[in-house]
Structure formats: C-alpha cells, structure tokens
Structure 1
Amino acid sequence: MQKQTALLLFILFLFSSEIFCQTLYLKINGSNEAATQTIDSLNYIKTHQDFSSISSEVAFIQSALFKQGYIEHEADEISKINDSTFSTSIRLKRKFNTIHIYYDSAIIDKSLLNHISTSVFDSYFELPFTEVASALTYINSKISENGFPFSKLKLSNIAIEDETYLSAKLYIDTPEQKRYISDIIIKGYEKFPRSYLKHYLKIKKGQVFDLNTIKTKTEQLNDLNFASQIKSPEVLFTKDSTALYLYLEKQQSNSFDGFLGFGTNEDTNAIEFDGYLNLSLNNNLNFGESFRLLYKSDENDQKTFDANITLPYLFKTPIGADFQLRIFKRDSSFTTVNQSAKLHYQINSKHKVYAGLTYLESNNLLSETSTFNIQDYKTSFYTFAYQYIRPQTTNQLFPINSNLYFESNFGNRKQTNTSQKQSQLSIDAFKIINLNQKNSFYTRINGAVLTSDDYLENELSRFGGINSIRGFEENSLYASLYGLVNTEYRYQLSNSIYIHSITDIAYFENKILKTKEKLYGYGFGFGLLTKAGLFKLNYANGKLQNEKFELSNSKIHISLTTDF
C-alpha cells in the first residue's frame, strides 16, 4: 500500500505543473459602449497562461488602436479582479482618419507617390491614417531598389491640424554611396554556366543592388532542369564592395526513355511488337546545352531517326541555336530527310521565340509507275516558333504544369519541273489543372495543317500511337490536316503512384483520298515512380466514328523513363 501511495505521489509531482496550471482571463473595457465594441472588434485574446501574456496582449491592442487613428488613447493599469480575472480600461478619445505628409521633392519623385496616394501635391501628399505603415514600407522598398538597401524612413513633427487629420514631416536617411553588385560568387555548383546569370536571370556585375529583386530572379533557377537553388542568396557588404553569394546544386537531367507496344494484326491475328528509345543529355559540358536522340521502329515497318541539339547563349550573347536532323523511312516506299537550323531568344525563364530555316527532301523508293502520290520533292521553309513552359517542381510525377509550342512555316516545294508555295502550321500544348493535392485533370491539344495546291503522300503529317491518339498504331494515320485532344483524369495514390483515365478525340482530313474522319480512343493507365525511373502502362482501344468497339483493336503501351 505504501508503494502504491509513493508511486501516485511521484506521478502527481511529474505532472503538477499541468494539473495545477491556472487559466487567466483578460477583459478590456472602453469608456462607453461604442468604444467597447471598437475594442472587441479587434478580437483580442481573452485567455492566457500568465500575467506576462496579458501585458503583451494589452500592448498589442494599444498598437492596433494607434494604427487605426486613435493616437491619443489612454489605458489604465491592469488590475486584478479576482484570482483568475484581470481587467483594464482604454479611453479612445478622438480618431484621426487622414494625415498630410510633407516631403522633399528633390529626394522623392512625385510619380512614386502617385502609386500610394490619390492626392499628391508639390509639397505634401494625403493618406488615410490606416495606410501609413504600408505606404512607408512601399516607399522604402522603392528606394532600396535604387541601390540604397540601408535607407531609413521616419515621420517627425507630428501635429494635429484639425479634428480629423494630422500632419507630419517625412525624413529619409540614405547613405551617400549607392550599392552596385561588385562580384557574384557561386557556391555548391561552381561550374554553373555564367551566361545564365546574365541572360536567363538577368543578374550581372555592376548592376544596381536590390536584394528583393535578386531573390525573385534566383527563384527562376528552379525552372531549369539541370540546376536548383539550395537556399536564398546572401550578400556580403564591405565599405567599397557588395558581393552576392548564390547557393546552387547541379541536378540529374539526363534521361533515357523507351516503350514496348504490342497488339493483334487485323489480317493475320498475330501479335506484333513496336517500340522506340529516346535519349536526352543535358548540361554534361556545363554549358547548358542539350542533345536529344530518338530512334523508333514501329509495327508498320516505319523507322524514324531524330537528332536535336540546342546551344544556348552563343558567344555570351542572348542568342542560342537549335539544329535538327530527322530521317523517316516507310517500308520500301519513300524516305524523307528534314534538316532545320533555328536561332532562339530566351525572353525569360518561361518564354522563348525562334526563327530559322527548314529544308526537306523526300525520295520515292518505288518504281516510277507504281504510284503518282509518292514523288521526289524538295521543300524550303522559313520557320518562326514560340514556346512557353511553366514547371511545377514540387511534383516529381508531373514536373511540367503547362507547355505550349507553336510553329509556322512558309516556303516553296520544288519538283522536277514545278514549284509552288506552301505553308504549314502546327501546335502542341498541354495543361494540368490541379484540383487538389491528389486529383488533377490533364488536357492536351495537338494538330497541324498543310496548305498547298496539291498534295503528295510522302509530305503529309503522320500521327497515331502513344504520343498522339492512343489505341491506334504508331504513325498509321496520314493527314493534310489533323487536330486531336487528349484528356486524362489523374489520381495520385501517393507521391510515386498514380492512375488515370484515357479519353482521346481526333479529327483529320486527307486531301489526296478526299476523306474526313473522326477518331476516338478510350482506356486507362497508371504510372509508377521507381528507383529505375518512371514506369507507365496504358491500355487503350481506338475506333473510327462509325465503327464498333472491338477488343482486338486494343493497344497496350509500356514505357520507362530513367533519369541519370
């Protein structure tokens, strides 16, 4: 019995601070009913753990009343009503709604004050008293942007001008020496391409120092796929220099992507396989360059070789270059070689424009009498394009939120004895609408149109398959005009697993065959982020508008994207 009593006393001793802790109550009264309502509208905290908390709350309420214009208010000492209740009274007195702030026009430009006041005069400007703090903060931030990070503002000579408004003098204390960035030091990823500082972030030596602007700009580093910011930038001030420190980290940005697809041949009922590999190398030379190699061989005995290289900021200028070589071969019918060279200008981290030349050459591999629609030709285009990319780096499964690429081509197609003008427009865009943390809606629009007096089969656009309308064979559809919409409802089971629906709709025209068709693809799929990469599996069934669904037309697409 004695042991049990001792144990109980020991437990009570351990938790005595919580058991015997008393809640204190605070009541603040006004000098009349209207004043009390004004004080209550501030929603002050009424329950506290100690007297120090009560004193802090009363001081906070007095500061809030001052900001509202009750600058003459008076508060009584906090009195103890009983063991748990404390009270004080506050006399609000007059409320001042407006203040006239006098300024030196030689120091502050009148146009700056127009952003914070609707009544600006040559010697003073007018403000609601409740907006004084935010207005001074805004003025100070603008002065800081001009290279004076240590500037100080204060109101002095505050006087009562009338029953409702005050007057004050605005004093600004700024150092004589304006601050400029004298050096930029990179920590963590010392080989980060310096051209990205000047042209991508638009930060360079000799630039007027403004830390808030620098922080905003350096956040754009997270939009790069080969580098990220470890922590916010820091500054070392000395008497004669201002050194900016950036803390960066190199990211794995190379990827290898491949997929395996299989389906049943409608004629032989045999299973046929198709697939591709896609290699992307980024910033391996610490220049910000990228190289992409695509090789695809599909079930229609079609082969595609596509190589792209991007060189940003050539010779330390804001101009970059893009080169592409694309070779397409369809069985023993024809080959088409597409070569392009474009210059691009990166407007900012999300926007980029292109201009260049595209050259196409196609050769008929069949006998001359076999078909009239496949012929040798050469086409030269002037190319103009625009790209917009908006990342969402917090989501590993879907790192890109929005993407838009629009390209226009204008030129001439030349054959043996003829030449005619042609134009080609294409668009590829997608958007992820995040409903909440787990649910999202993905939609993509893709299309192209070729305008010409007549058409050749070997110059038509080719689409179909996992990267266009799912449920159809790869590049099995030929069109002079096509447009498609991919949609997916996605549900994330975790940060590494998601499932999704497939609903695809397409429309295309073939001017050679004089056909117009609508296509539909339905199915489902899932994605799994593993140590090896992102594994995706899609099951889709495709049909023409007037056809019935048949399971034999279903396609299963498997892909794995590995980052290294």
Structure 2
Amino acid sequence: MLGKTELETKVIDSLNYLKTHNDYTSIILEVESIQNILFKMGYIENKLKGINKNNDSVFTAKFHLKKKYNNIYIYYNSSVIDASVLKMVSDKVFDDYFVLPLNAIENSLVFINQKASEQGNPFSKLKLANIRTDKTNLKADLMIDSKEQKRTIDHIVIKGYVKFPKSYLKHYLKIKPGQTFNLNRIKQKTDMLNDLKFANQIKAPEVLFSKDSTTLYIYAEKTKSNAFDGFLGFGTNENNNKLEFDGYLNLQLTNNLNFGESFSLLYKSDENDQKTFRTDLSLPYLLKSPIGVDLSLQIFKKDSTFTTVNQSAKLHYQINPKHKVFVGVRATTSNNLLSANNFQNITDYDSNFYTLAYRFLKRQNTNLLFPIKTDLYIETGFGHREATNTKQKQSQYTIDAFSIFNLNGKNSFYFRVNGSNLKSDTFFENELFRFGGINSIRGFEENSLLASLFGVLNTEYRYQLNNAIFIHSITDLAYFENKLTNNKEKLLGYGFGFGILTKAGLFKFNYANGKTENETFKFSNSKIHLSLIADF
C-alpha cells in the first residue's frame, strides 16, 4: 500500500493491514476495509488511485489521502434533542451545536438515536444533512425523521400465567398503560419477574404495533412457591445424660390465591419443654395501592412457668424488588403461671412498641442450592412496658443479615449476623431474648440462652460437589449479656454439615459442638440436626 506522499504512506502503514492474501478478491476486500478506516480517521476525501500488478504474486494499491478533517460541528434543534443526551457523547455542547471527533460519529449517532427511541419514537431515523467543510473541520445538520407520534403503552397482555396479579405490574414492575414506550427499560423491568418467588419470565417481552395502538406482551409462568421446612435435633442432656429430641415444622404458602399473598405457620418444641407457635400473613398492594400489610401472632410457652403472646401489624412499601420499608405496632402480653412468690423475676406485664424496619433482598436464581445471595433485615422499636402499676420506657433493636461471597462456581463463604438489644432500666426473665440452636448459634440447645443483649456470627465455608450436593464447615461465635443476672459470656460453636438436593427437597445434616469461653471441649455437648426443606 502506497500513499501519494511519504507521509501518507506512513499513515497507511500504521494501520497494520493484512499484506498476504490467497486471491485477488481478498485484496479488494482488504482495500475497502482500509478505505473505511481512513474515512473514520478523518480522511473523508481519500481516493483509491488504482491497484497495480507488479508481477504474478505482488500487487500495489495506491491511495491519495488528501486533507484530514479532525472534528465535526453538528447543529441540532434543541426542541427535538435534549442537550443532556448530547452531553453523554460530547464534552462540547452548546445551545445550537455540539462537537464530535470524526472517529466517534457512528457510535454517537447510534446512541442518540437509541435515546430518541426511548422517548417513545421506536421508528425514528437519524441522519446528518448538509455536510460542508470548514478548513480542518466539518459541519452538518442533525436531522431526525419521526413521522409517527410518540408511542405509549396502550395494552398489556400476560401470556403463560394468565392470573398473574395485576397489582405487581403496576407497583412491582412499574409498568402500566399510558407510559411512554421504551423497550429497553421494559426489558429491564420484566427481568425483575425472576426475583419473584412465585413467577418467572419465560422469554423477553414482545410488542405489537398497530396504526393507533401499542400492545405489550409479557411472558411469564407460575412457579412452585410453597415450602415445608422441618428439622429434627437430638443431643445428650447434661444433667441426666439421656438422649433428648427437639424440632420444628414451618409451613409457608405463597400466592395460592394469585394475589401475591404469603402465609406461614411455625410450630417448635424443644428439649427444655418450650413451645412456640407463630403465624404470619402478608398481603401486598391492598386495594391496588402501593401499600401492603403484614400481620403476625406468636405464642410462647415455657413449661408451666409463663406464656407470652406477641401480636404485630405493619404497613410496608416496596421501593423496588430489592428494598422494602415497614412501619407498625407490636403488642406483647405475658402471664406468670405460677405464684409470684416462687418466681420473683417472672411477672405479668404488657408492652406496646412502635416499630420501623427495612429489608434488602438480593437473589441469585441460577443457584438451586442457595437462591438468595443477600438478605438484610433491620428493625427498631420504641415503647413502654406496664407491670404492677409501673410504667417503664423501653427500646429494642434487631438485625438479622446474611450474605454469600462466591469465590467461583464451587467455593463460597457464608456469613450471617443476628442480634438484638433491649434497652430498659429493669428486666423480667419472661421478656428476655431466647436464642441458641440450629437457627442461631449451633451446638447449643434450642432457645436455651437468655439475654437482654446478644449477637451471633455464623460462618460457613461451602464447597459444591455439583449442583445438588454441598459440604460446609461450621464456625459460630456469640456474645451475650443478661442484665437480670449481671452475666456476660462468649460462646463458640463449631462442626460440619452437608446438604443434598433430592426430589423430596433439600436435606441438610449438621453436626456441631458448643462451648463457653472458659469451658473445655465435651463430646456430650454435641448436637446433630436433620432438616428437610421441600417446595411444592
């Protein structure tokens, strides 16, 4: 390849073009490619003077590059194109024109046209007209041909899952008739269907354009969203060395009425003769509004000592699929079942709290074993407790969060932080937090630890043998304070476990041993937990 001058030849040589070809057709294609590159570099007037045959195997292409243009000044109509869009492609934007380097023209015009399409003009055409030269720069007028009026979404049709709750279209996906048509944004929103527990997106949305309307088709399917979770735990009683059992049943029903509602029922019984019954109901988007309600009832009984009943009601607002905020009230009533003379620290009381809460949830739907990557819940409550003609101001803070850090497809670390703090001048035993066990610090009996303040750190190193089997370590740390007994203690739980995804559900086995800070290891303190989580 040669230029008209030595300087032009150096410019052509800098392109690192292919010099060896199998046939003449390949040479022609390479020459055309070089010309296109020269056009983008600013040599818009370059010409091919000819291809000369030196001998049977050598050809020489001669170019005349002529003048190089550096920039193009593009004049635009500010009523058609917003300057904020132009500032995304150029750092020199003025009231009626903007400046681009010649090598950025193609990508910049594609971007500007895309933004015009997002404003409801999917059939808009963009071009440069009246191109003219000015010394080392070009000038042109930006023309947008949009014969049709701006498009809006007129109709929305759900294919596949016909009874998909319509309130989720408006408030969760934030897609509704009358919105300006923007296909890219619609695709981003419908992808959020995969973050729902009860539905999935089958394929990308499609659009039907007619002369006077725009119909959006969304393809979704209903998925298994009900779950049954149960576990059986057993260990040796430290006092009588007898084998004792504990366990729980947790039933979760989601979207069975095609409303997006969820209902859960929990029953737990442990070796300390403690029984817990809890039921929760969540109703999203009441009366087609963005507000939902959460109702909860929990009854706890400690053998024949006392019972505690918690009732709560919250209003929630789903900011987007990952963020949700709550505001509500919680009422608690506890009754001493024995004489107050026998148990001075257990007293009848009533408490009322106003609560604020926030939740962040992020899924990783491609992982069948661990579909949730991050879950954060923070709650604070302010209120008072009444007992024996006394009134005590109290506040309560709770955090429950976990996250999975994926090193690669097989290796990951799991971290969970769980803790609560009750601030009060006085305390009763029957209002303290109870923790310990498979859903808290492993290696200890269920709900065997009492605290006015506690924090638990659960860690696991997980290794996935395949998509259905994983093994993991257990290392749990805890710290708690019991201001009623002026007790402070550090705890350690350690062990191992594995999980197998079967046709019946996810079967999990955990072996853990728990000890206090100054306690020596005892094999008799070991706990084994078997659990099964089944979706249906």
TMscore range, shorter length:
over 0.9
- For structure 1, which segment, 181-190 or 141-150, has the greater mean C-alpha deviation from structure 2 after superposition? 141-150
Whether 1:366 and 2:366 are equivalent positions in the alignment is no
Residue 143 (structure 1) aligned with residue 119 (structure 2): no
User: Per the alignment, in what secondary structure is the counterpart of residue 135 of structure 1?
Assistant: helix
Q: What letter corresponds to residue 378 of structure 1 in structure 2?
A: D
Q: Give the TM-score of the pair, scaled to structure 1.
A: 0.90
Partner SS, residue 420 of structure 1: strand
1:119 partner SS = coil
Deviation string 1:78-116 (CA, Å, 9 cap, x unpaired) is 778888887756555544332111112232233332333
20, 34, 43: which is aligned to 2:10? 34
**Length, aligned pairs only:** 533
Partners of 1:491 and 1:47 lie apart in 2 by 52
Q: CA RMSD in A?
A: 2.1
SS in 2 for 1:39: coil
TM superposition shift of 1:268: 1.4
Matched, 1:256 2:232: no
1:45–1:355 Cα change, 3 Å: farther
Q: How has the CA–CA distance of structure 1 residues 49 and 257 changed in structure 2, closer, same or farther, with 3 Å as cutoff?
A: farther
461, 464, 474: which one aligns with 1:502: 474
Q: Return the offset for 1:138.
A: 2.5
Deviation at 1:372, TM superposition (A): 1.3
Which amino acid in 1 is paired with 2:132?
A
Q: Which amino acid aligns with 2:10?
A: A
Partner of 1:355: 327
Which residue does the alignment assign to 1:16? none
Partners of 1:430 and 1:490 lie apart in 2 by 14
Partner of 2:15, secondary structure, is: helix
Residue of structure 2 equivalent to 1:445: 417
Change (3 A) 1:47 1:548: farther
TM-score (ref. length: structure 2): 0.95
Residues 1:82 and 1:355: Cα distance change in structure 2 (over 3 Å): farther
Does structure 1 residue 387 correspond to structure 2 residue 359? Answer: yes
Corresponding letter in the other structure for 2:323: H
Pairing of 1:158-307 with structure 2 (within 5 A): 158-163=131-136, 165-307=137-279
Deviation string, structure 1 residues 317-376 (Cα, Å, up to 9, x no partner): 001010000111111111110000111011111111111110001111122211111111
Percent identity between the two aligned chains = 64
The answer (yes or no) to whether the contact 1:488–1:503 under 8 Å persists in 2 is: yes
**1:20 aligned partner:** none
Deviations 1:411-430 (A, max 9, x none): 11011210011100101111
Separation (CA, whole Å) in 1 of partners of 2:414 and 2:205: 35
Q: d(CA) in 2 for partners of 1:134 and 1:519?
A: 60
Q: Contact 1:30–1:39 at 8 Å: present in 2 too?
A: no
Which amino acid in the other structure matches residue 38 of structure 1? Answer: S
- Return the letter of the residue paired with 1:101: I
Residues 182 and 243 in structure 1, CA contact (< 8 A), matched pair in contact too? yes
Which one-letter code corresponds to 2:322 in the other structure?
A: K
Which of 269, 281, 284 is 1:312 aligned to?
A: 284
Looking at structure 2, the residues matched to 371 and 563 of structure 1 have their Cα atoms a distance apart, in angstroms, of 44
Gaps spanning 5+ residues in structure 2: where?
none
Could you tell me which runs of 5 or more consecutive residues in structure 1 were left unpaired when the two chains were aligned: 1-27
Kept in 1: contact 2:43–2:68 (CA 8 A)? yes
1:295 partner amino acid: Y
Deviation at 1:59, TM superposition (A): 3.9
After superposition, the Cα gap between the structure-2 partners of 1:365 and 1:240, relative to the gap in structure 1 and judged at 3 Å, is same
2:311 to 339, 356, 373: 339
CA pair 126-511 structure 1, distance change in 2 beyond 3 A: same
> Partner amino acid for 1:319?
I
Give the alignment of 1:47-126 within 5 angstroms: 56=29, 58-75=31-48, 88=61, 92-126=65-99
**Counterparts of residues 392-471 of structure 1 (less than 5 Å):** 392-471=364-443
In the superposition, relative to structure 1, how do residues 555 and 121 fare at CA in structure 2: closer, same or farther (>3 Å)? same
> For 1:129-184, what per-residue CA distance to the aligned partner results, in whole angstroms no more than 9, with x for missing partners?
22222322232222222211111111122222122x22111101113411111100
**Residue 120 of structure 1, CA deviation:** 1.7
Conserved in 2, the CA contact under 8 Å of 1:281 and 1:291?
A: yes
C-alpha spacing 1:512/1:178, structure 2 compared with 1 (3 Å): same
8 Å CA contact 2:340–2:346 kept in 1: the answer is no
CA distance in 2 between counterparts of 1:317 and 1:215 reads 24
What residue in structure 2 maps to residue 482 of structure 1? 454
Supply the AA of the counterpart residue of 1:495.
N
Q: Distance in 2 between matches of 1:301 and 1:50?
A: 89
